[in-house]
Structure 1
Amino acid sequence: MPELPEVEHVCRNLQKLVVGKTIGCVEVRLPRIICYPSIQEFCAQLQGLTIQGVRRRGKYLIFSIPPFELISHLRMEGQYRLAISEEEQPHTHVVFHFTDGTELRYRDVRQFGTMHLTDRPENYPIGLQTLGPEPFDESLNASYFLQIAGRRKLSVKALLLQQDVIAGIGNIYADEALFLAGIHPAASCWQLKKKDWQRLLVSVREILQMAIEAGGSTIRSYADGYGRHGGFQIQLQVYQREGQPCQHCGREIVKIRLAGRGTHFCPKCQKIPRVQSDSQSVQRRKEA
């Protein structure tokens, strides 16, 4: 947390709140948040510059502050909030003081967030450089997943969490998309047919779009640039509903551990595909 919908919502808020504002100075209260360059360079290089835009890539926020780009990863609980200078907020680690008297404050209770300031792509954080395609990328299709998955015994849930395969999906929306697609999270990638991948991709896009429109999901502490909580958590079908009845069939939601993450699913609505013989798998790949 936050995942793509939350970061997208924060991005859209920041586009309204800070684009066009000029930075008077920067105050860094927790040095380890700044990964590149040095604290002194970070503060000096931003002074007097104007924020021209904000965009999202995967779970990263990218501020366009010519000639630089400020790359921010919120990690577990990072938050941005626009405030006036008289206000004080706990766990504030970086403050961008604007010339109009307002401040953009970065708060992070867990202190896992990062910031990189650079004018060269080679200095981007590795995680950003290696991101896979965006879920809404028109070039993303079932054939891409078939090629990536191959005969891997990796579970489909684990694959969805790999940011170099598809960007922005985390634990919440992987569980929800798999439920909507009717695919068991522990199913091996090689077991899925092209039609399964197509159905899953449609479900991923539908779930993410719904979550974006709802302002994201507030499971613990997520809030947008206005301090508002998300609303999609009330629409969750399986995530964190262990022991509760499935809203489709009434069967009890189960929680297991996959790829080191708690994974929620309905054992009736999401069944593992029947294991195919090697010859059937070869034929399937030829047909794809």
Structure 2
Amino acid sequence: MPELPEVETTRRGIEPHVAGHTVTAVELRRARLRWPIPADLPVLLKRRKLLSVNRRGKYLLLRFTHGHALLHLGMSGSLRVVAADQPPRKHDHVDIRFGNGAVLRFTDPRRFGALLWTAEPPAEHSLLRHLGPEPLTEAFNADYLFARSRKRKQAVKTLIMDSAVVVGVGNIYANEALYLAGIRPSRAAGGISRAACEALTANIKEVLAKAIAQGGTTLRDFVGGDGKPGYFKQQLWVYGRGGQPCGRCGKPLKEVRLGQRSTVYCTACQR
């Protein structure tokens, strides 16, 4: 599933090509993805200028003067800018055409993604109103995480993957940040010290920032907004490396299921 770095990479890839340009047509080839696509979306967007492409968590927000189109890439979706004459393929479900000739194409083979419309402020939308702070902002810091973790018996990995606590820390980056912070993923969140929270928040920010800078992580289906894959997979310390030697101590990395997600850690370096 595309995680925050992949979604941010997509946002940065498409915005220069479409922001400031006027929609000339919207082609809907499916009536629904995870939820129904608004049937009147072509009318809502035609002859409207796209002001900006923003992101909240894993949602992309296409901002117009009269509302926002909300997109989620689901398990395997991508949003790319393609040439006006490039024919659609089987899983290319939506085209948004612009006056400059750019076509914003939404592809989703598994159809777990979403394309919705809201005239209200995005922060008030039911899918967004309960989201926690963005991990790369000052609102997400050691004091905040320490306060949110108190009296929590759940595993610390599960806590930082809770979008109500902090958005966008998916499984790949949770594994990596916990390894770099030296924290065992299964530790009870309520037992984590403030110093550990300092290390964890810092490493979450660092891992996500590096992944964004390198275009996200290529795993199975993800491609960025420019059609190119991400390259952060080359630098993964633990994710997908169960049984391989730890990059620090050389001991085999252990892989377990935690919260129904693959979790890899070093039994020696993470406590």
Say yes or no: TM over 0.5: yes
Structure 1 stretches (4+) deviating beyond 6 angstroms? none
TM-score when normalising by structure 1:
0.89
**What is aligned with 1:3?**
3
AA of the residue aligned to 2:231: G
What is the match of residue 259 of structure 2?
259
CA shift for structure 1 position 102? 2.9
Q: Secondary structure at the match of 1:129?
A: coil
**Aligned mates of 2:139, 2:121 — CA distance in 1:** 23
Residue by residue over 1:236-274, the C-alpha shift from the partner in whole angstroms, topping out at 9 and shown as x without a partner, is 000000111111111111111111111111111112xxx
**Partner residue of 2:43?**
44
* 2:126 aligned partner: 126
1:69-106 Cα distance to aligned partner (Å, 9 max, x none)? 11111121111111123212421011112233331110
Partner residue, 2:87: 88
Indicate if the aligned counterparts of 1:67 and 1:119 stay in contact, CA closer than 8 A: yes
The equivalent of 1:165 in structure 2 is 165
> Which residue is 1:113 aligned to?
113
Distance 2:2 2:228 in 1: 14
Supply the AA of the counterpart residue of 1:81.
Answer: R
1:122 CA drift (Å): 7.4
Map 1:68-83 to 2 at 5 A. Answer: 68-83=67-82
Aligned pairs (5 A) from 1:171-210: 171-210=171-210
SS class of match (1:32): coil
1:132-160 superposed Cα distances (whole Å, 9 cap, x missing partner)? 01112213222222221121110001001
Of stretches 90-99 and 123-132 in structure 1, the one that deviates more from structure 2 is 123-132
Is residue 211 of structure 1 aligned with residue 173 of structure 2?
no
SS of 1:5 mapped into structure 2? helix
In the TM superposition, residue 125 of structure 1 has moved relative to its aligned partner by: 4.6
Query: In the TM superposition, what is the alpha-carbon distance from 1:124 to its structure 2 partner?
Result: 5.6
Equivalent-residue separation in structure 2 for 1:88 and 1:120 (angstroms): 34
- Whether the aligned pair in 2 keeps the contact of 1:238 and 1:253 (CA below 8 Å) is yes
Match of 1:16 in 2: 16
Deviation at 1:66, TM superposition (A): 1.5
Asked if the contact 1:116/1:125 (under 8 Å) is kept, the reply is no
RMSD: 1.7
CA contact (8 A) 1:116 1:124 kept: no
Mapped to 2, the partners of 1:124 and 1:109 lie a distance apart of 29
Aligned to 1:66: 65
1:228 Cα deviation after fit: 0.6
Q: What's 1:53 paired with? A: 52
**Normalization by structure 2: what TM-score?**
0.95
Deviations 1:204-232 (A, max 9, x none): 01111111111110111211111011110
Larger radius of gyration: 1
Identity %: 38
Q: Contact 1:218/1:233 (CA < 8 Å) preserved in 2? A: yes
Q: What SS does structure 2 have at the residue aligned with 1:251? A: coil
State how far apart, in whole Å, the 2-side matches of 1:122 and 1:84 are.
Answer: 30
Give the corresponding residue for 2:269.
Answer: 269
Which has a greater percent of helix?
1
- Unpaired runs of 5+ in structure 2? none
Counterpart residue type for residue 194 of structure 2: K
Q: Which moved more, 1:153-162 or 1:94-103?
A: 94-103
Offset at 1:123?
A: 9.1
Alignment size in residue pairs: 270
Partner Cα distance (1:255, 1:97) in 2: 45
Equivalents in 1 of 2:34, 2:96: separation in Å?
A: 13
Question: What secondary structure sits across from 1:82 in the alignment?
Answer: strand
The DSSP-based 3-state class of the residue aligned with 2:210 is: helix
